[in-house]
Amino acid sequence: MRQLPRVLALAVVAIGILVFPLAAGAGHENDPHTPNLKPLGHIFEPASLLNPAIGNPDIHTDIAFWGKLAIQGNWDGFNIRNIAAPGNPKQVSRTFCNGDQGDVIVYRNIVTRSWNTPAPADDPATPEAENSFCDGEPVPAGFEGLHIFDISNKKDPVLVGSVDLECGSHTATAVPDKKNGRLLVYNSGSSADCPGIDIVEIPLDDPASASFLRFEEAGEMIHCHDIGVILGKAMKAACAGGLGFSIWSLGGKDGGSLEDPELIHTVHVPSVTIGHSAAFTWDGKVLIFGHEPAGGVGPRCLETGTPLPPPAEGVQTDEMKSYFFYDVATGAEIGRWTLPRPQSAAENCTLHNLNVVPLKKRYVLVHGSYQSGTSVVDFTNPANAKELAWSDPPPIVPTDLGGAWSSYWYNNFIYETNITEGLNIFRFTGRETAGALRLSHLNPQTQEFTIDKKKRKKGKRG
């Protein structure tokens, strides 16, 4: 979701308490869906659930995976879920940490969480309601950035460190640097004041000593929102934001390094003003770009040509509800996919968070896109991409923010963060994803190896 103006962010939180429905969770099994997308287990944690010490609604956001655990962020902390049985996921623990957004990374026993909005000043008159806390600890006034947790005890994660960043942390991407015993974090503040990537270092043997390393500037008019990274033979990073996206080399023939990326392309995408998502195919050849007209809170998946609801002007276009595919080597557009299922004017909708299934022969993506739900798209031919499956819930009324924040493929199941419900799990039964590689862990914005296109028949990794 687009970062809201700083003054308005807390007001939206308060409004959200009033508009989010209390009984949205019953829909997972019964929402309209294609026969090849089977609803499985879910954890119903409605958005109206509040942390009494903070007062924020429980807006569920992004997910990361380690083994048989899913770490699911939300606006007032994060949950650890046991997903060993996808038909019956279990709650492990709940950690409270204010600051909205709640983007999460997991690596070994380290979890980082994004704190998006400056912490308010202490108010002695209302210490419980107004002060900001993270894992029970007061957060200094003005802080915005990353919090770092030790989750060695999964039932009781412990806050061990923090890194204050100039424009906060809207999203963050894991970049393991095993040779140097550290986890790098590519951080996005999603702000015109910081148009690029913060690079943060977390020593694996001393996460409490995490620190800011440097700022990497993006191309002109690119205010990084989400950052995708692919390592292995590809060694590339891309951020989407502003008018389009930038691509960097992280090493190899195109130059750069993990700590000092080399900018190689900046592309302004026509009709785009709020770039949002960037992800790579597993061979590193194709970039998937998505954007977020109206910041994710407006209806932008209407029937093409439909007048946009006031106060917006103009009409719905295909570009507003499309993923764009680009050649990584040249920066040229090679195709796009447009959502074929028009949504109503009551449904906030843009194409939101996605990842690519780790396959040897095909390009298949999974995405969660607000009130259009979850879907699976085959773009093996980027010029002729096709939707394979979907789950599309009915409109949530009244609300200005609902639906699927993220939907990701992980080890043959699809995990959906439903903003107002919690965690929903699906199984796609189509043969298009047969042979998908199993992973020991997954931060969906990070691909830690490549699947070499020339060696797909042998299934070799780069």
CA distance 71 to 60: 11
| CB-CB contact of 375 with 432 (8 Å) | no
**CA neighbor of 97 nearest in space, from 52, 153, 137:** 137
Buried b (16+ CB within 10 A) or exposed e, 365-386: bbbbbbbbbbbbbbbeebeebe
CA distance 133 to 334: 47
Record the tokens describing residue 142, joined without a space. 């003005």
- Coil, helix or strand at residue 424: strand
Record the tokens describing residue 215, joined without a space. 């700022």
List, in sequence order, every residue forming a beta bridge with 130; answer none if it has no partner: none
- Coil, helix or strand at residue 253: helix
Query: Where are the chain's structural domains?
Result: 6-458
CATH superfamily of 6-458: YVTN repeat-like/Quinoprotein amine dehydrogenase (2.130.10.10)
Record the tokens describing residue 323, joined without a space. 């993923």
- Map 329-386 to HEC letters: CCCCEEEEEECCCCCCCCCCECCCEEEECCCCCCCEEEEECECCCEEEEECCCHHHCE
Tell me, rounded to whole angstroms, the distance of Cα 312 from its chain centroid.
26
**Which mean pLDDT values do the consecutive 10-residue runs of the chain (462 residues) have?**
41 32 57 96 76 61 98 94 97 91 96 92 57 87 95 98 96 97 95 94 98 97 96 97 97 97 97 95 98 93 96 95 98 98 96 97 97 98 98 85 95 96 96 97 98 56 49
What size, in residues, is the chain?
Answer: 462
Contacting residues for 399 by C-beta, under 8 A, at least 6 apart: 19, 20, 21, 348, 420
Residue-wise DSSP of 428-460 = E--GGGTTPPP-SEE-TTEE-S-B-GGGGGGT-
CA distance 135 to 330: 46
Radius of gyration over every alpha carbon of the chain, rounded to an integer in angstroms: 20
